[in-house]
Amino acid sequence: MPMYKSDQLAHQLKSLIEKNIWKAHTKLPSLREQVESSGFSLMTVMNAYQKLEAQGLIYSKEKSGYFVAEQTKPALDSASTLAPKIEINSSVFKYLKSIQTPNLVSLGSAFPDSELLLPIKLRQIVSQLARYPKSYDQTTNLPPGNLALRKIIAQRYCMQGIPTQADDIVITSGGLDALNLSLQALTQPGDYIVLQQTTFYGAWQAAERLGLKVITVPEHAHCGIDVDAFEQLILHYPVKVCWMMFNAHNPLGFTVSEEIKFKIAKLLHQHHIHLIEDDVYEELFDGLNKPLPMKYYDQNNLVMHCSSFSKTLGAGFRVGWVYAGKYSEHIQHLQLMSTISANTLVQNALVEFLSSHHYEKHLRSLRLKLKKNKKRFYHYLKQNLPTQCRIHYELGGYFLCIMLPEQASSEEIYKTLLNQNIAVAPSILFNYSQQHQQFIRINCSFDWSNHIQSALDVLTITLKQLSNAKLET
Amino acid sequence: MPMYKSDQLAHQLKSLIEKNIWKAHTKLPSLREQVESSGFSLMTVMNAYQKLEAQGLIYSKEKSGYFVAEQTKPALDSASTLAPKIEINSSVFKYLKSIQTPNLVSLGSAFPDSELLLPIKLRQIVSQLARYPKSYDQTTNLPPGNLALRKIIAQRYCMQGIPTQADDIVITSGGLDALNLSLQALTQPGDYIVLQQTTFYGAWQAAERLGLKVITVPEHAHCGIDVDAFEQLILHYPVKVCWMMFNAHNPLGFTVSEEIKFKIAKLLHQHHIHLIEDDVYEELFDGLNKPLPMKYYDQNNLVMHCSSFSKTLGAGFRVGWVYAGKYSEHIQHLQLMSTISANTLVQNALVEFLSSHHYEKHLRSLRLKLKKNKKRFYHYLKQNLPTQCRIHYELGGYFLCIMLPEQASSEEIYKTLLNQNIAVAPSILFNYSQQHQQFIRINCSFDWSNHIQSALDVLTITLKQLSNAKLET
């Protein structure tokens, strides 16, 4: 592969830094000086400087130019990497369109089986309210959203020991809207953000759209998140915002322990880094107590906690929220320029439903059903999967990830299964880099049936055929 | 005021161009050459070149540099101007928040009186459908949106003589979402777009957010849009997209004639410029026939026609659409990254309501009521306004604009009235430049009542006091 001129120049400069000829915090020659001394074009010099900056070897100060970065910082774990320019949208789009085919066994969906959602009491309330014009009145539901609904949400935070006022909450058009608005409010194009190596594709897409630089933090087999790697990368890069999931992680399913959450919160606090906490599965835990969100450990209004009713009541409602705190006005600003408000009738219906004991009752029953269904899926898959495939059981949520044998392609398996009318989510959607282990995510929220069993049979046979083929080659 | 170095340089170069020393299409010195010859810094040279480009004196070609623009082009009408960096959001935000106060006489709202919307038949349908889980099923309502709803919308275009397939339509989360998605799909930061001089603030906000350069086309007393000025500016600037309103313009109320629409469509076609047509008041015409949209004259898939049900059925529904044609997939892309889908229950209810004769019946009655109410407002205001205030009556829509005496401030009047619990929309929201005539927009959709009459009395008294004060000074 031919070397670009900018790589050539970056290489020269890098060796000056590494050999300590250029000491830490020394000012680099200005772009113009470098153009003159090197004979390269301005574009080449700019590209070279930007590459060095991306590698953490130099840093820039506004109006002052570039400076050599501190080399005593810990070497970056190779697993934490600055992702190249992100272009994930096309493949996600193709995937999302493909799983809209009717009569598909929808094991690729991120939503629980709709048969488990939409409790009859909620539908009755919507039906009742729908008769009156007042229920559709937008005025009382404009940003920051329905006051009664915000009070109820605030109350639920308080019950977890997180002091919250109704004015801290902004109602959004679903959870993704909450996450996107938060990222837009907290960043400028070119900023560095941290995503988990394996993460919900919506985060990648948002970063792409806003022109952000993404650094990924690797998973840790026991802790969920590799805290050491996390610390290294925030020492290394001028990170502005992290967008991460700590409870019932999508797609991997893990819930981070209190201890690790505390450590990460401390690091965020020390370095004044904001966290956009995607916690849309917070209510679907497996056990007696709802896991604490990172918001609980937030000392300095650094955490924007985002959640929604899409995974507990119904995906089609499009009502979510963000604990925006002092950023409330900024978020409302962005809303009034885009979606204006979430559906008014639904906001009103949610107020009535959530004010009763019906929500807690529904959640308890939903959690039990999801736990039962996921266990059933797990045991069936464990019995039937080829030995080269691994499968973890994590508490909470309703996903299982099947880890594929080395060199298997999740995309190939997804396509093969799609031809047989079964949708699964391939790891390519969650993992921008192709170097990491491939897997497929299975939605296990469905009640057991012959239909489901047949689909899992096709799945396991496909994986066996693949494993045999790989063994033969 | 001290002159910036970049202005100084721009001034020098401008005179070289104007004196024809630098001929049209001559390449300018490269940035580096200019730095060396002028002694100015790179930043200064870049700023100077960008200023000249913004003035239309030079143009840039990718990878080739800057060139002198053709000077034989018609001189730009001073009324068509490149707007400075737009920062309208804060004032709009303050305005929108201020009019949310309860018990306000809401003459500043852009929505018709909700008492006139939300027909009982539609509410019955929502109420009926709300009982069944199937009505909330998101799968059949994901982008591009509910197929049956898209078919009905396509059919309505066909009835106007615009050949349309269901696949040309994308359902959005309201009309503003349709407009924003279209602008995002068709532009890159730095592109030139055309807005009407007086225009819905949402267009200014979208331009600000996407980092676009705005050129405005002035109004014309008789035609609504000044076609000659429009032609001049598209000859002068590399315009990518126009975002404009042709029917029942917000806030001015005019509907552009067929002849002018045809002329503008021809110009767009000749210069291959896209039009985002904001047509949310299309159904609220005054007369027998619905005015044709610009989409009717579109020969080359250049027009993205955007509309919604917010002004005819209910603001809180948040269901709109765009005639996206070949851009459908691009729009869906952007949706799946942001709002995902419009509310599912509402989409299903609209299908049932629009399939019946109820919608046409509702629209006929709505048009008559709006016409009657607007006339009543007009006659009352005409009788009572001070002579220094002018008021036009335009067919269609439900807005009246009161033109203020010279040197009056629409913002001052808006604030004075707000203190008396009356909201009106000041021209500052629609007119970025303060040089143009000031006005206030009145929403005349309300049925006449003592309450309304008293509010209009306060309004006219306030305007009289202002006029007298101005005469005295």
Q: Which residues contact A38 (CB under 8 A, 6 or more apart)?
A: A9, A45
Chains A, B: CB pairs < 8 Å: 161
Q: What string of H, E and C letters represents the secondary structure of A32-98?
A: HHHHHHHCCCHHHHHHHHHHHHHCCCEEEECCCEEEECCCCCCCCCCCCCECCCCCCHHHHHHHHHH
pLDDT at residue B81 greater than cutoff 80: no
Q: Which ipTM did the prediction report?
A: 0.80
pLDDT at site A127 = 98
Q: Region B54-61: what's the mean pLDDT?
A: 77
The residue in chain A having the minimum alpha-carbon distance to the alpha carbon of residue B114 is A137
pLDDT at residue B203 greater than cutoff 60: yes
How far, in Å, CA of B54 to CA of B65, rounded? 15
pLDDT at residue B72 greater than cutoff 80: no
pLDDT at residue B25 greater than cutoff 70: yes
Pairing type for strands B303-308 and B274-278 reads: parallel
Instruction: Judge contact between B167 and B146, C-beta under 8 A.
Output: no
Radius of gyration of chain B (CA): 24
Q: Tell me what the pLDDT averaged over chain B comes to.
A: 89
Helix (H) or strand (E) holding A170: strand A169-172
Q: Name the class of domain B132-359.
A: alpha beta
Q: Region B397-417: what's the mean pLDDT?
A: 92
Instruction: Say which amino acid occupies B27.
Output: K
With beta carbons under 8 A apart, name residues in chain A contacting B346: 343, 345
Inter-CA distances, A401 with A94, A203, A394, A442, Å: 21, 19, 10, 6
Least Cα separation, residue B319 to chain A (angstroms): 9
pLDDT at site B74 = 37
pLDDT at site B204 = 87
pLDDT at site B460 = 96
Q: Which CATH superfamily is domain A89-115+360-472 in?
A: Aspartate Aminotransferase, domain 1 (3.90.1150.10)
| Contact between B333 and A93 using a beta-carbon 8 Å cutoff | yes
Which of B56-70, B127-141, B424-438 is the most confident on average? B127-141
Q: pLDDT tens for residues B331-357?
A: 998 998 888 888 899 999 999 999 998
pLDDT at residue B191 greater than cutoff 90: yes
Q: Which residues contact A8 (CB under 8 A, 6 or more apart)?
A: none
Residue A39 near chain B (CB below 8 Å): no
Instruction: Judge contact between B109 and B399, C-beta under 8 A.
Output: no
Q: Region B297-321: what's the mean pLDDT?
A: 94
| Contact between B92 and A173 using a beta-carbon 8 Å cutoff | no
pLDDT at site B186 = 96
Task: Using alpha carbons only, give the angle B257, B258, B263 rounded to the nearest 5 degrees.
Answer: 100
Residue A307 near chain B (CB below 8 Å): no
Tokens of A154: 């605030």
Q: Which residues contact B153 (CB under 8 A, 6 or more apart)?
A: B164, B166, B169, B321
Q: What string of H, E and C letters represents the secondary structure of chain B?
A: CCCCHHHHHHHHHHHHHHCCCCCCCCECCCHHHHHHHHCCCHHHHHHHHHHHHHCCCEEEECCCEEEECCCCCCCCCCCCCECCCCCCHHHHHHHHHHCCCCCCEECCCCCCCHHHCCCHHHHHHHHHHCCCHHHHCCHHHCCCCCHHHHHHHHHHHHHCCCCCCHHHEEEECCHHHHHHHHHHHHCCCCCEEEEECCCCHHHHHHHHHCCCEEEEECEECCCEECHHHHHHHHHHCCEEEEEECCCCCCCCCCCCCHHHHHHHHHHHHHHCCEEEEECCCCCCCCCCCCCCCHHHHCCCCCEEEEEECCCCCCHHHCCEEEECHHHHHHHHHHHHCCCCCCCHHHHHHHHHHHHCCHHHHHHHHHHHHHHHHHHHHHHHHHHHCCCCCEECCCCCCCEEEEECCCCCCHHHHHHHHHCCCEECEEHHHCCCCCCCCCEEEEECCCCCCHHHHHHHHHHHHHHHHHHHHHHHC
pLDDT at site B60 = 80
pLDDT at residue B473 greater than cutoff 60: no
Least Cα separation, residue A177 to chain B (angstroms): 6
Query: Worst-scoring range by mean pLDDT, A7-11, A365-369, B221-225, B414-418?
Result: A7-11
- Pick from A97, A202, A333: which is nearest to B93 by CB? A333
pLDDT at residue B87 greater than cutoff 60: no
- Pick from B117, B205, B345: which is nearest to A337 by CB? B205
Higher-confidence position of B424 and B46: B424
Q: Name the class of domain A5-68.
A: mainly alpha
How far, in Å, CA of A324 to CA of A276, rounded? 10
Instruction: Judge contact between A92 and A52, C-beta under 8 A.
Output: no
Q: pLDDT tens for residues A257-284?
A: 999 999 999 999 999 999 999 999 999 9
Q: Which of residues 402-461 of A touch B (CB under 8 A)?
A: none
Least Cα separation, residue B367 to chain A (angstroms): 19
- Pick from B126, B133, B173: which is nearest to A118 by CB? B133
**Domain regions of chain A by residue span:** 5-68, 89-115+360-472, 134-358
How far, in Å, CA of A269 to CA of A300, rounded? 7
pLDDT at site A330 = 92
Q: Region B128-154: what's the mean pLDDT?
A: 94
pLDDT at site B198 = 93
Other beta carbons within 10 angstroms of residue B344's beta carbon come to 27
With beta carbons under 8 A apart, name residues in chain A contacting B330: none
pLDDT at residue B79 greater than cutoff 60: no
Which among B176, B338, B429, B443 is the top mutation candidate for probing chain A, defined by the most A β-carbons within 10 Å of its own β-carbon? Answer: B338
pLDDT at site B17 = 81
- Do domains B5-68 and B89-115+360-472 share one topology? The answer is no
Q: Name the class of domain A134-358.
A: alpha beta
Q: Which residues of chain A have pLDDT under 70?
A: 1-3, 62, 71-89, 433-435, 470-473
pLDDT at residue B7 greater than cutoff 50: yes
pLDDT at site B85 = 47
Q: Region of B110 please: left (phi>0), alpha (psi -120 to 50) or beta.
A: alpha
Higher-confidence position of B468 and B330: B330
Q: pLDDT tens for residues B248-272?
A: 999 999 999 999 999 999 999 999 9
Tokens of B87: 């920062």
pLDDT at site B471 = 59
Higher-confidence position of A234 and B17: A234
pLDDT at site A53 = 79
Higher-confidence position of A404 and B26: A404
